[in-house]
């Protein structure tokens, strides 16, 4: 294994290559520009192809083409580019093409603040396109090393589920440096828990069976398969049609192939001090979870019965972690509160669910401790006007 100091962008690039990615098409944007740069350097060395498109919408369409041609493909961007994926994301979901999409969150909306972290696309990664009638899978690492692992995992899931998978990071993960260990062969990949899945090619006769089955290889153009890639409803035989019953069957597959196989990714979470029924559960994902971990250690040493739940698999939302009636606090990199809404929905009725948001910078440990203490003493969180949205 190799070990060095590098950025998350570099770690993601190496992870993609380890997973078999040989095609990248994107459009540079802070804080994912260095990812495109690293891909442009590394892919040709591995016999792969790097392309820069005219914009993000074009980039993801090109990636769909590469995937239809049998390549494992990836694109990467930040929030302002992720929203431009809306059209091709629908195509990739509807045509069931494996792809990996990386979003490095910065401060929004619109251009916002480029070189600072944000978590404004929590819901957008669940609903990245129009029309509904689909499920999405989102993985959110909290370090450069884990970003590498989650990109490898995303390629694995993309192949098995035949769909685009989002890896949701933030500026601190992609732009930040960290000591990174890169496996150099398959044995070392296994040792690090990395799993891969080869690209298959659907040979028919049924190209789009009306079932929730996994591991049906995707349609591959030019491989003798007769299936189609269309924005209309596919029939079982691979033709397209515009008809409600057929579309219902199609949507069933898009929804339930994910919902019925959550066991493939719902182990992706981390719990800390959660075995003694804590009085307060702090819920977070991405980089804020690292500050939360340190704060919770400190809180325990001060006698506060606080636990930490870090989500890695964000979508489909893991409701199973919220069965206990207790106090919850979400710590997020946004000021409007996004994760908190989902925790409110999943938690038992009448659970107290609170929100603490920062954006552009991480919360501080004293701030977290102060809020833990207040919640444990049943005191309201201090409202600081524009600084804290009331929940």
Partner 1 sequence: MKDRLEIVASGFGGQGVVRLGQVLGEAAVKEGLRVTMLKSHGTEMRGGYVRAQVVLSPNTIDSPMCENPDFFVALSSAAYNRFKDTVPESGVILFDPAFVEEIDEKLACTHRELPAKQLAMDNFGRPIFSNSIALGAMAKLLENEMDKEVILESLLEIIPKFHDKNREAFQVGYDYMS
124 Cβ contact list (under 8 Å, min separation 6): 79, 82, 83
We find the least distance from the C-beta atom of residue 377 to partner 1, in angstroms, to be: 24
Q: Which is nearer to partner 1, 212 or 270 (CB)?
A: 270
Q: Is 177 near partner 1 (CB under 8 A)?
A: yes
Cα separation of 278 and 100, whole Å?
A: 37
Judged by CB under 8 A, the number of residues near partner 1 is 27
We find the least distance from the C-beta atom of residue 135 to partner 1, in angstroms, to be: 32
Q: Is 38 near partner 1 (CB under 8 A)?
A: no
Classify residue 62 as left (phi > 0), alpha (psi -120 to 50) or beta: alpha
Q: Which is nearer to partner 1, 66 or 308 (CB)?
A: 308
257, 212 contact by CB (below 8 A): yes
Q: List the x/- string, 345-374, binding to partner 1 by CB under 8 A.
A: ----------------xx-xxx--------
We find the least distance from the C-beta atom of residue 278 to partner 1, in angstroms, to be: 18
Please, how many CA atoms are within 13 Å of residue 284, restricted to the half-sphere of its CB?
Answer: 31
Q: Is 170 near partner 1 (CB under 8 A)?
A: no
Q: Is 175 near partner 1 (CB under 8 A)?
A: yes
Q: Is 147 near partner 1 (CB under 8 A)?
A: no
- Please state whether beta strands 306-311 and 269-272 pair in parallel, antiparallel, or not at all (unpaired): antiparallel
Q: What are phi and psi of 249, to 5 degrees?
A: -65, -40
Cα separation of 89 and 231, whole Å?
A: 11
Nearest of 55, 293, 289 to residue 172 by alpha carbon: 289
165, 101 contact by CB (below 8 A): yes
Q: What are phi and psi of 57, to 5 degrees?
A: -60, -45
Q: Which is nearer to partner 1, 68 or 173 (CB)?
A: 173
Query: Of residues 9, 30, 233, 235, which one binds partner 1 by CB under 8 A?
Result: 30
**Subset of 240-299 contacting partner 1 (CB under 8 A):** 287, 290-291, 293-295, 297
Query: Of residues 146, 153, 159, 178, which one binds partner 1 by CB under 8 A?
Result: 178
- In the complex, the residues that contact partner 1 under the rule CB under 8 A are 3-5, 30, 114-116, 143, 171-172, 175-179, 287, 290-291, 293-295, 297, 361-362, 364-366
């Amino acid at each position: 294994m190799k070990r060095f100091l590098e950025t998350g962008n570099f770690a993601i690039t190496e992870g993609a290559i380890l997973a078999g990615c040989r095609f990248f098409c994107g459009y540079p944007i802070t804080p994912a520009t260095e990812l495109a740069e690293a891909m442009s350097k590394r892919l040709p060395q591995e016999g792969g192809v790097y392309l820069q498109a005219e914009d993000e919408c074009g980039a993801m369409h090109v990636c769909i083409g590469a995937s239809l041609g049998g390549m494992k493909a990836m694109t990467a961007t930040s929030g302002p580019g992720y929203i431009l994926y809306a059209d091709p994301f629908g195509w990739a979901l509807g045509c069931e093409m494996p792809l990996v999409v990386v979003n490095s969150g910065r401060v929004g909306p619109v251009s916002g603040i480029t070189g600072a972290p944000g978590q404004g696309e929590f819901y957008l990664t669940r609903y990245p396109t129009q029309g509904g009638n689909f499920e999405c899978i989102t993985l959110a690492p909290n370090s450069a090393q884990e970003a590498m692992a989650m990109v490898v995992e995303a390629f694995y899931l993309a192949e098995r589920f035949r769909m685009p998978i989002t890896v949701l990071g933030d500026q601190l993960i992609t732009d930040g440096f960290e000591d990174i260990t890169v496996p150099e062969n398959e044995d070392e990949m296994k040792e690090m828990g990395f799993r891969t899945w080869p690209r298959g090619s659907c040979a028919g006769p049924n190209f789009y069976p009306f079932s929730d089955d996994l591991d049906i290889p995707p349609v591959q153009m030019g491989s003798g398969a007769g299936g189609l890639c269309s924005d209309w409803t596919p029939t079982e035989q691979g033709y397209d049609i515009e008809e409600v019953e057929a579309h219902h069957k199609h949507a069933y597959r898009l929804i339930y192939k994910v919902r019925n196989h959550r066991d493939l990714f719902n182990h992706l979470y981390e719990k800390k001090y959660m075995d003694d029924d804590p009085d307060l559960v702090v819920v977070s994902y991405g980089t804020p979870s690292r500050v939360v971990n340190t704060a919770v250690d400190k809180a325990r040493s001060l006698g506060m019965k606080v636990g930490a739940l870090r989500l890695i698999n964000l979508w489909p939302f893991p409701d199973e972690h919220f069965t206990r009636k207790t106090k919850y606090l979400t710590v997020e990199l946004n000021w409007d509160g996004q994760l908190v809404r989902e925790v409110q929905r999943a938690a038992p009725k009448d659970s107290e669910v609170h929100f603490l948001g920062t954006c552009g910078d991480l919360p501080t440990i004293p701030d977290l401790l102060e809020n833990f203490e207040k919640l444990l003493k049943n005191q309201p969180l201090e409202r600081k006007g524009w600084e804290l949205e009331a929940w």
